[in-house]
Structure 1
Amino acid sequence: MATFGRVSQALARSSLYQARRQLSAAAAAGAHGEQAAKTWKILSFVVALPGVAVCMLNTYLKEQQVHEHERPEFVPYAHLRIRSKKFPWGDGNHSLFHNGHVNALPDGYEGHDK
């Protein structure tokens, strides 16, 4: 068993030594690093940017297909839209990113006939 341990340690040392030599030789050459940088730059422009453009186009087209939905009927539940103090902007009743079509106020939707 001890012999197996010594052999495996010797193999590990030799493989680590070889890896260190290869890395130092590659660093000394310097050409490999420049070629890798060029490859990644080309891949970024040829693969990544068109991929992002295709995803943006897909999202835009899907959004165009969605029909505007009717908003749900307002039900004044006591545990929703609690205002213990006014917001520090505007009239104090609208949240910072308020959307009048989607977000209801405590007394109903804006422009909604009661």
Structure 2
Amino acid sequence: SFLKIEPMLVQGTAGVVQLKSDAHGKEGPARMWKALTYFLALPSVGLSMLNIFLNWDHRKHESPEFISHPDLHIRSKPFPWRDGNHTLYHNSHVNPCPTAHEDE
């Protein structure tokens, strides 16, 4: 009765065929999605969080060696913010400037 597939049809006004409101039972799909949420989705999120926490590297990461690639830093005009050389979402730990890393 949980996986009732055949729809129950009734003749409505003006000859329109409609589904009965109790065609799938009272709690069929809602009960299934509630069970999937509690027994599959939430434990999956919890295990993912635990995996990230246990494998988190708490040491400071070193910047990779800087290799100048002039074609990656072409500026036809400066950016309209700050000094004109940094992108809007510049991260000094990851994104180097055209000449070198900022930390050096």
Same fold (TM over 0.5): yes
Partner residue in 2 for 1:106: 98
Partner residue in 2 for 1:32: 25
Where does structure 1 lack aligned partners over 5 or more consecutive residues? 1-18
Alpha-carbon offset, residue 46 of structure 1: 2.5
Structure with higher strand content: 2
Partner residue in 1 for 2:50: 57
Task: Name the stretch that deviates more: 64-73 or 43-52.
Answer: 64-73
**Which whole-Å CA distance do the structure 2 matches of 1:24 and 1:72 have between them?**
65
Instruction: Name the amino acid aligned to 1:48.
Output: A
Identical columns (%): 42
The answer as to 2:58 corresponding to 1:74 is no
Partner residue in 2 for 1:4: none
Query: Once the two structures are superposed, what CA deviation does each residue of 1:34-56 show, in whole Å capped at 9, x if it has no partner?
Result: 23212211321232112112112
Query: Once the two structures are superposed, what CA deviation does each residue of 1:63-95 show, in whole Å capped at 9, x if it has no partner?
Result: x23754432222323222222222222222111
TM-score, normalization by structure 2: 0.66
CA RMSD of aligned residues (A): 2.5
Q: 1:42 aligns with which of 35, 46, 63?
A: 35
**Which whole-Å CA distance do the structure 1 matches of 2:66 and 2:21 have between them?**
71
The alpha-carbon distance between structure 1 residues 33 and 92, as it changes in their structure 2 partners (threshold 3 A), is: farther
TM-score, normalization by structure 1: 0.61
Structure with higher helix content: 1
Instruction: Name the amino acid aligned to 1:60.
Output: F
Q: Tell which structure's C-alpha radius of gyration is larger.
A: 1
Tell me, what secondary structure is at the counterpart of 1:32? coil
